[in-house]
Structure 1
Amino acid sequence: MPEKYWLNMLDGLLMFRLIPLFFWAVLIALPAHGWLSLESERPYRGNAVAEKIHDHCERLIRQKRPADGMAREMLNIRLERFYSVRGFQPLWTNRQMVEALMAAVEASAADGLNPSDYAIARIREFDPHASMSPEKKAQEDIFLTKTALLLASHLRYGKADPATLEPSWSREKKNLQLLDEQLQRSLAAGSFTVYFKELQPQDANYDLLKKGLARYRAIARHGGWPQLAGGPTLKEGNRDSRITVLRRRLKVSGDLAVEDADTSTVYSREMVGAVKRFQKRNGMEVDGSVGVATLRVMNIPVERRIDQIRVNLERFRWFLHDIDSTCILVNIPGYSLQYIENGHYRWGTKVIVGQPLRQTPVFRASISSLVFNPKWVVPETVLDKDVLPALNKDNSYLAKKQLRVVDEEGSTVDPATVDWSHYSARNLPYHLQQRSGDQGALGRIKFLMPNRHTIYLHDTPGKELFDKSRRDFSSGCIRVQNPSELARLLLHDSLQWSSAKIQDAVNTGKTTMVILPQPIPVFLLYFTVVPNGQELQFRDDIYNRDNQVLKLLNKLGGGR
């Protein structure tokens, strides 16, 4: 359907201009006191400022779509709806309200937002008691209201639209009308300041990220941390002139106690311990040596870490309101899985995620069942990129991988009778199936969570890969280090499905599906900074997504 269309009324009496379908859908949903009734209800008559506000709102609604598109158009709709409820009467008539808004805008910096997006300098200069024409007063009142509406939506839903960056995420629909109604009520109750605080994610991890942001900004104000020069790998007992710089670096980031008064150039045991703490915080191999990889991460400037924290605060605003109290959380760059029960951490394990060229998508689903001793049917992506190219080079590939060819009726086909060069993953009339077992690609347990990406959680025969610090090796699915324990937690039946009975089911070798007592939501998320107690853990941006979010965060305006 084209973006714009003609809407003809019966008898040809009215012809509407070309208007976006979404715009009309929003207007139809407006309350009766909205724009459609502006001409019939005029409670603003007699107040010159209110009349100017009404006229300005009417012009905004009737104008063509703004150059910056839907965000600006939606803000204009919200603005008109907000004023129509109050008869277009001016709102910012006393200094206390203006100061409360100014405080909320200034406080947004602590959430990683930019107060300049909300024209903080203009708010500071505004005096509601200054002598102004009705037109000027109306303009300033509308400006301040727009600022409040914009800040509210950014704190509640994030400044950037995750759908543009994570299109596979089906987040809750923005309820901007409810947001604005809550603002109306808070203004009437005199709880304006509390309103903005309550819009932020009410979560301890979000608060810890904010504290971390303040701490790293303080480090930046004091000059950041020193850069460590390249050279031979530093190991315990080594003597090197760079040790004094390394010591300062570790003290600034809090990995080495400030009270450490050592001034020698010897790489001491205490410093090795501090480096290990640094490596663990940054998701690296923990060996206490300062080689090329550790040096690279140590020399990441504090300003970049500040940006990284801001990006992840934004991601928290996107997703945190959607998370169920009992669920599975997978952090893709953290290579980790957590089982959350009734809002509290219950259990966690390591995972392996998709390679950069076969990325694990960000989305949510629900585990409804699991399979013991699953058979693996080669998915289209693996078929296209791995199996068919290998088959055209090596006729024995299927035998090596213990794959059998199965037709639509389930009968086994002799692979020697198939001309593989004639087929692609899309038109191959067969399935390639691998038997279950310890060497099967899915291991012994598979967790089914229906989704359009054909992504699931499963066991793996490659247990040695969990010892690596970087674990992006899969074709998109999530390999779980300890699937038996995850199965026990999800089955939630200590009698029928104890650890021993789960092992018995595996040992039978039979492919068996078990339905969970209730579906468990699964959230596959992407966080490159997460709090761990009072410290922050940084992870590599394995899919290079942080810069895209940062660019949108730093873009001036955000829909004003």
Structure 2
Amino acid sequence: MEIRALLEGDESQVSMEFQAGRIYSRSYLLTFYSERAFLPGWLEESKPSCEALELRLLIQQSKFDGLVPADYHLEQLNFLFERSLSDEILTEKELAKMDILLSDAFMLLAKHLYQGKVHPEHLEGIWDIQSKEDDPRLLEKLNLALAKQNVRQQLFSLHPKFPIYQRMRQSLKKYYEMEQASTGLNWKNPVPEEPLEPGQAATQIPAIRDILIFWKDLENYAQGVGEIEVYDSLMMEGVKRFQLRNGLLPDGKLGKATIEALNQDPKALIDKAMVNMERLRWLPDTTLQEFVLVNIANYSMDYIRERDTLLHSNAIVGQSYRKTPVFNAEMSYLVFSPTWTVPPTILKNDVIPAVKKDIGYLAVKRMKILDFSGREIDPKAINWSGISRNNFPYMVRQTPGRHNALGLVKFMFPNKYNVYIHDTPSRELFFRADRALSSGCIRIQKPFELAQLLLSDQPLWNEERIRNAMESGKEQTVTLKKKIPVIILYLTFWSDGAFRENIRRDIYSRDGELLKLLQLPLIHEN
């Protein structure tokens, strides 16, 4: 009855008994062991059972899920296992501790695999996507793991259901293997003053060539040229492949962004994979047949139906000081030839200062000043010298047309952030590598194609009618027959269907904060 004595003591007694191996799921374990008359679950003739050995292996492999094996009593279990497996006779209390630690490790690992170790509310950035239910029948999983002798199956059943998660897990495993082989490479190459192009020479070229070969972006390279400092055309093709995987403009130039990405060693990518697998664990497991997915860090929007991507579009997202939030909502209507009522923040920070400098700004931008009843106000009738950012008693609205900041169509999914997807007149911005340029909303390169897909179940809205409505100069709202889920995510790493790793710059500097929380020692969860 040592198990019962250990679990039924008061908090200070339990803490003293387990010390660094403190118990996190004590209330669950009291239920689990009381239902089995406080008999051990992981022992066989006073030795760790096959299930116990399997669980220890899974704890060691939890690093491939971006978790920290030490969180799950690994050090304490290793100490007890080594003594037991070397035929040392453990005391009844030590055997009871081993059993409790194994059960607690299973519960905690199961919980973290299911909904993550870190709660999104502990982060500075906005994550406003509904979380999973709190308890996925963890005790039932523990009982089944022991009764059916399938510990791995029960734990793996708690992985996120998205195929991308298993692909990322394989990538992370690969990075751990590659980490051992990367020690001889130079991961601190200096950035040149001007981007290097083919034909130019530089001292860092051999090191960069080695990195490209290491990542297999450069293969079948001629032998005997390892120390040559000339950037040749074959190497440029490897640079382009690397740039594509890293979301950079594939121009083959070795500039600042490309060199910085090349300087990320496998350990840096292990860290990046860790935080993004955690983000996937936060997502609800609801399977959506049709939805719009925006990845902020990838500057992209995808329209997905039955797991097929029907439309991929480059996107422009919020600047670092006007970040696009992470949330989900339902798209219910779109507006052709929209007007644009300037939001308060942009009005205060951008429009009013511009008008005070030059009243002609309004005419150039085709903006009208309206009172809150909708009556147009002559800007020349306003005493602008007495106007400040905080006392402007009007609203400013831009007329429809190609000049409009929202372009020719906007897609509405009502939300508290007043964020939506829209067209833009600044088409040239889509060809930039860094597209964190908006005030929070999402501008897309292919608005017409998205409108076509959304209205494909309304035959009257054919291609001609959609184009006419976009160009009409008269605002027109069209309600969708069915609401389409919109999910706005922030992923800086993922593995695609071909198991290619995609690495993106952490444009909002969010990865470091989450990584730190993932690596922090656990606090008591009981």
Task: Mark yes or no: TM-score above 0.5.
Answer: yes
1:433 partner SS: strand
TM-aligned CA deviation for residue 317 of structure 1: 1.5
Which residue is 1:350 aligned to?
314
Distance 1:170 1:130, change over 3 A: farther
Asked whether 1:534 is paired with 2:488, we answer no
Which residue is 1:364 aligned to?
328
Which residue is 2:399 aligned to?
435
- Report the AA paired with residue 153 of structure 1: K
Distance 1:81 1:454, change over 3 A: farther
Partner deviation per Cα, 1:389-427 (whole Å, 9 max, x = no partner): 333433333233222122222111223334456666676
Q: Give distance in 1, aligned partners of 2:396 and 2:14.
A: 58
Mean alpha-carbon deviation: is it higher for 316-325 or for 470-479?
A: 316-325
Distance 1:82 1:60, change over 3 A: farther
Asked whether 1:126 is paired with 2:80, we answer yes
For residue 516 of structure 2, the aligned residue among 532, 541, 551 is: 551
Which residue is 2:378 aligned to?
414
Whether contact under 8 Å (1:492, 1:517) holds in the other structure is no
For residue 237 of structure 1, the aligned residue among 168, 189, 199 is: 199
Which residue is 1:78 aligned to?
28
Q: Give distance in 1, aligned partners of 2:132 and 2:165.
A: 21
Distance 1:424 1:325, change over 3 A: farther
Asked whether 1:93 is paired with 2:51, we answer no
TM-aligned CA deviation for residue 230 of structure 1: 4.9
TM-aligned CA deviation for residue 125 of structure 1: 3.3
Identity %: 35
Q: Give distance in 2, aligned partners of 1:124 and 1:337.
A: 47
- Report the AA paired with residue 40 of structure 2: P
Q: How does 1:439-450 map to 2 (within 5 A)?
A: 439-450=403-414
2:43 partner SS: coil
TM-aligned CA deviation for residue 559 of structure 1: 4.5
Which residue is 1:467 aligned to?
431
Asked whether 1:251 is paired with 2:203, we answer no
Mean alpha-carbon deviation: is it higher for 223-232 or for 337-346?
A: 223-232
Which residue is 2:157 aligned to?
198
- Report the AA paired with residue 536 of structure 1: E
- Report the AA paired with residue 341 of structure 1: R
Whether contact under 8 Å (2:131, 2:284) holds in the other structure is no
Distance 1:302 1:443, change over 3 A: same
TM-aligned CA deviation for residue 325 of structure 1: 3.3
- Report the AA paired with residue 197 of structure 1: F
Asked whether 1:226 is paired with 2:186, we answer yes
Asked whether 1:52 is paired with 2:5, we answer yes
Partner deviation per Cα, 1:420-468 (whole Å, 9 max, x = no partner): 5666667644221111110001111101111110000000000000010
Q: Give distance in 2, aligned partners of 1:275 and 1:366.
A: 40
- Report the AA paired with residue 138 of structure 2: L
2:331 partner SS: strand
Which residue is 1:511 aligned to?
475
Partner deviation per Cα, 1:285-310 (whole Å, 9 max, x = no partner): 22212233322222233321221111
Which residue is 2:300 aligned to?
336
TM-aligned CA deviation for residue 242 of structure 1: 4.2
Asked whether 1:115 is paired with 2:115, we answer no
For residue 148 of structure 2, the aligned residue among 184, 189, 193 is: 189
Which residue is 1:155 aligned to?
113
1:321 partner SS: coil
Distance 1:431 1:74, change over 3 A: farther
Q: Give distance in 1, aligned partners of 2:196 and 2:391.
A: 56
TM-aligned CA deviation for residue 258 of structure 1: 4.8
TM-aligned CA deviation for residue 499 of structure 1: 2.5
Whether contact under 8 Å (1:375, 1:435) holds in the other structure is yes
- Report the AA paired with residue 149 of structure 1: M
Asked whether 1:305 is paired with 2:265, we answer no
TM-aligned CA deviation for residue 239 of structure 1: 4.4
Which residue is 2:19 aligned to?
none
Q: Give distance in 2, aligned partners of 1:183 and 1:252.
A: 42
Which residue is 1:140 aligned to?
98
Q: Give distance in 1, aligned partners of 2:136 and 2:166.
A: 27
TM-aligned CA deviation for residue 259 of structure 1: 5.2
TM-aligned CA deviation for residue 212 of structure 1: 1.9
For residue 395 of structure 1, the aligned residue among 348, 356, 359 is: 359
Q: Give distance in 2, aligned partners of 1:478 and 1:79.
A: 48
Structure 2: gaps spanning 5 or more residues: 16-21
Whether contact under 8 Å (2:3, 2:100) holds in the other structure is no
1:333 partner SS: helix
Q: Give distance in 1, aligned partners of 2:41 and 2:388.
A: 65
Q: Give distance in 2, aligned partners of 1:400 and 1:148.
A: 65
Structure 1: gaps spanning 5 or more residues: 1-47, 65-71
Whether contact under 8 Å (1:61, 1:80) holds in the other structure is no
Whether contact under 8 Å (1:209, 1:313) holds in the other structure is yes
Partner deviation per Cα, 1:512-536 (whole Å, 9 max, x = no partner): 1111111111111111112232221
- Report the AA paired with residue 49 of structure 1: E
Which residue is 2:18 aligned to?
none
Q: Give distance in 2, aligned partners of 1:50 and 1:299.
A: 51
TM-aligned CA deviation for residue 322 of structure 1: 4.8
Q: How many residues align?
A: 504
Partner deviation per Cα, 1:53-96 (whole Å, 9 max, x = no partner): 5514xx359999xxxxxxx9984443444445445443333322
CA RMSD, 1 decimal: 2.8
When normalised by structure 1's length, the TM-score is: 0.83
When normalised by structure 2's length, the TM-score is: 0.88
